[in-house]
């Protein structure tokens, strides 16, 4: 019997305990968009794409540009460097409406706090060297049983200075890089919602309109659960498995090359394998709990539990 299967027999025997539903970022791979066709007063007939899954443009920065010109914060990116499609973010466009700030968000209902939010991004920065430009990603985990959002929190406005969110500020880059938002500030809190807010700003004081514009792209946005327990064998800070739960594909990030991937069901039977890859398709698996075993090139075995939706 190989080492990977021995590990999972131990895991399965010990894994009879209650766990809360884990959080999933809806449409975090941005493969699902709605195509919108409209006739606007200034631009005439326009077509654009908006992401499905609950991703929402803020009203202050997008209501008028969308209705009058078909322009807004969200769009569809299909560059050769993306895995399929990705989410395009624009703070103003060339020969179009420009604003000093634009915002989008999503509110996710779940009751189990992830350890981090991860994803890929690239960011143009301002088209003018004289204008400092910033791209912020913030996360807020909270408890709210009566209304969609707390009375003092409006997701349509930037919450960058509210003190509620954990933020990262991303620097301009021409190629995709990883980002990670650590959610330890919300540890040991009772939650039922997580809000992700995307904010692009130009440092021009209180000016509403600006002479510049900027864009960013995000992709593969997912929550990661990292716990040192019987569910996670082999500790490695640079090893991540996402999304979890998943409905189709499991992605693996590792600083070491991957030799072999094995997936076992709750009975300990091997149900899927993959060699020399960083992802494995689980679309054909029935819903339930599974165990992922990854052997790296240095012969270390990392094991994780995941949920197939």
Give the residue, 253 or 212, on which the prediction is more confident.
253
Closest CA to 290 of 270, 274, 279: 270
Query: What tens digit of pLDDT does each residue of 161-218 get?
Result: 778 899 999 989 999 998 999 999 998 888 999 999 999 988 755 445 566 788 999 9
pLDDT > 90? residue 304: no
d(CA 219, CA 28): 7
Q: 105 with 58: CB under 8 angstroms?
A: yes
> What domains can be seen in the chain, in order of their start residue?
3-19+228-308 (2.60.40.3080), 33-224 (2.60.120)
Name the CA dihedral angle for 273, 276, 279, 282, rounded to a multiple of 10 degrees: -10
Query: What tens digit of pLDDT does each residue of 54-107 get?
Result: 999 999 888 888 888 888 999 999 999 987 899 999 987 666 566 778 899 999
Give the residue, 13 or 147, on which the prediction is more confident.
147
User: Which pTM value belongs to this model?
Assistant: 0.72
Token pair recorded at residue 25: 């970022």
Tell me which of 19-28, 231-240, 263-272 is least confident: 231-240
Residues 6+ apart with CB under 8 A from 173: 121, 122, 123
Token pair recorded at residue 225: 């659960």
**What's the pLDDT score for residue 231?**
41
Q: Which single residue is written with the structure tokens 């209180």?
A: 206
Token pair recorded at residue 157: 């406005």
Closest CA to 23 of 116, 108, 148: 108
pLDDT band for 267, please (50, 70, 90 cuts). low
Query: What tens digit of pLDDT does each residue of 276-301 get?
Result: 999 999 999 988 778 888 888 888 88
pLDDT > 50? residue 233: no
Q: What is the mean pLDDT of residues 258-280?
A: 87
d(CA 218, CA 81): 12
d(CA 268, CA 213): 54
**What's the pLDDT score for residue 49?**
95
**Phi/psi of residue 94, nearest 5 degrees:** -60, 135
Give the residue, 264 or 135, on which the prediction is more confident.
135
Residues 6+ apart with CB under 8 A from 146: none
Query: What tens digit of pLDDT does each residue of 3-52 get?
Result: 555 554 544 444 433 345 668 899 999 999 999 999 988 889 999 999 99
**What's the pLDDT score for residue 162?**
79
């Amino acid at each position: 019997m190989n080492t990977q299967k021995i590990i999972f027999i131990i895991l399965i025997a010990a894994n009879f305990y209650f766990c809360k539903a884990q959080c999933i970022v809806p449409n975090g791979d941005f493969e699902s968009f709605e195509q919108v066709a409209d006739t606007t007063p200034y631009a005439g007939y326009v077509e654009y794409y908006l992401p499905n899954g609950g991703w929402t443009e803020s009203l202050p920065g997008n209501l008028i540009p969308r209705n009058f010109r078909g322009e807004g914060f969200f769009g569809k990116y299909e560059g050769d460097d993306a895995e399929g499609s990705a989410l395009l973010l624009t703070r103003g466009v060339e020969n179009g409406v420009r604003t000093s700030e634009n915002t989008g968000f999503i509110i996710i209902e779940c009751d189990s706090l992830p350890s981090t939010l991860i994803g890929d991004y690239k960011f143009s920065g301002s088209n003018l060297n004289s204008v400092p430009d910033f791209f912020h990603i913030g996360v807020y985990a909270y408890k709210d049983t009566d209304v969609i959002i707390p009375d003092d929190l409006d997701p349509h406005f930037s919450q960058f200075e509210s003190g509620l969110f954990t933020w990262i500020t991303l620097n301009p880059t021409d190629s995709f890089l990883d980002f990670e938002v650590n959610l330890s500030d919300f540890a040991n809190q009772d939650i039922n919602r997580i809000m992700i807010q995307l904010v692009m700003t130009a440092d021009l004081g209180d000016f509403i309109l600006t002479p510049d514009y900027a864009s960013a792209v995000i992709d593969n946005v997912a929550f990661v659960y990292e716990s040192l327990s019987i569910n996670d064998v082999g500790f490695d800070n640079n090893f991540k498995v996402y999304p979890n739960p998943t409905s189709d594909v499991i992605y693996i990030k590792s600083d070491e090359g991957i030799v072999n991937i094995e997936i076992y069901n709750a009975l300990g039977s091997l149900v899927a394998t993959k060699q020399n890859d960083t992802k494995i398709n689980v679309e054909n698996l029935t819903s339930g709990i599974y165990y992922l075993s990854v052997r790296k090139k240095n012969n270390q075995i990392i094991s994780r539990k995941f949920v197939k939706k």
